[in-house]
Structure 1
């Protein structure tokens, strides 16, 4: 995968909320799609398990399945255009295709292109020979040669944060070339998306001498999740894709696809046993079949929270319910070794999208200025118990 942030996606919506969510977005998605009969996706099909070609030359992988599901939702034809990742922004702007599938949103990229809502989250870590004791800091890597993939947010991050501190950054066009150089000892380490490098090297016999080293790398320059990139003058296309994405999240198709590919998170370096973190199920939903939270490695995934108190009483306003939810989420995070400062993503479900500004004013006050989590907001009729809002979040646990 060419860009990353966090891993292992879980969307534990209640079944009946998902049903009403789907119904609320279908009409709008179909109406927007009437102006198009085709969407062209630019993709570099050399990055399993995200996008590649099988023995028959057919496109397969997580992003291919998500793209096809979005096109089915929008009732348009998907056309896939093979495109080298390092040049795909220029190719998008030249009109070779309509969407880059996928790309991590960053502030620098938003200056020249636009992005959809986040499809899922991944994380970035350093990979080196076992026993290297390297960590992803300029001080640790000074004098070392670090491989990155050209055109990625990780390449931009490494050049901006490490290169001026005496770290040599070596760019590669293909991951196969980078891995060959790592195996040969021509580079000392690589900064990679955890899922891609696991499949490409660490889970193979030739990767037995290598492992993740140091902690997950989190920085605004790395972006916050995996999205689709579009031209800035395509607001209708952006709206189509976002509504279709919300619909497949609500009807369960998104979860069914993503869970087949992103089922685990690599353990912190040095953890004994398997290199895959164990699952920890925290709390419960009373008589309902869900946990309050699930911890996977350094990530904590919270179930959706409603704005009622311990007695089931809801504040009358959306603002009041938003505050109650955020207080509840904050307390749950604190109990589990995290905090609102460590939240990386939230989904906000409103019973009435007209309450967006009211919700937003309260929500924004719970996060440090300029460090807001990635977020998706959509409308869903008939939330549980007549609630006005439901919020779920994912947070990093240090």
Structure 2
């Protein structure tokens, strides 16, 4: 606590929920600090005015609520999807990609208001503390960061609730005991972790899912859609131009109704432990399938394979909180260069949890009928050339095989 004694003003990432309300009061009572609240609308689907009213009731004079949905998708989600980023082959990084944007605005507001520090509600066991703080330090090396879960003396949720009741902070009925699981949501995804999900052998209860109908309850008729891409980004749905956030929201609706985007995974956290979570990314699951489909038509083999080799590293950087690192920015430049001719239209069918690519077309296509046809080649490809190609590539293999035979 001694490191916090000189802090007079703090910008708090504030959701209006129980935990961040307790943090707000703790900053006021334990540090005696003036608090500026910052609430980001990232498309989490919650009404944000209650957060404003709660902050007002707790005496906050400077309340910042910002609609960041377009910035979130345009400047963070879409660049990540150009890379087809998947962490550990499964996770579409929905929580990870939101943290650098929140940190960006926390730091900006701190500079505008002359605050000494920023504060977040991430626990000391998770990845988010790392993501928030690495991003903040990358943007302002002198910023002070307060992480109450690492600093305060509370040992349990019971202690938190007692503190809340002492300070007249409303405790929702479902928070009187241990919450069944925790949820984080934004326009890209929702994630659920903890309690009823902690045993990786136990199937998640259906009520855990926030963003999609069960594939078993989805319609018996496929939904057909067309997605148009330009420079690797989705720009039109069924012929209608849409902004980035509107596009993702529309894909979320289509994915939700068709039971798309559910994953149940055990992942390796950056801090060293494994955790089990249930994630739903309906629109993102459609988007990545369509993006890979248009890339298959327009991206050169060497460029595509290099992207796939680099993707796990890129995804890990985002997962671990290094969005603002020079290596991520270098990789992004390479990825964005690869997307210059990734344009065209993909047709898909959405059916009971499946995203099925049924067609793709592009004016920048590298696919040539005259090369792949089984009919008359018309001189475009001489099959006899393949013999020399094979013999040259077989040279080292034949040399190795001859050595083995001679040694045998």
- TM-score, reference length from structure 1: 0.25
TM-score (norm 2): 0.24
The higher radius of gyration belongs to 2
More strand per residue: 1
Which one has more relative contact order, counting CA pairs under 8 Å at least 6 apart?
A: 1
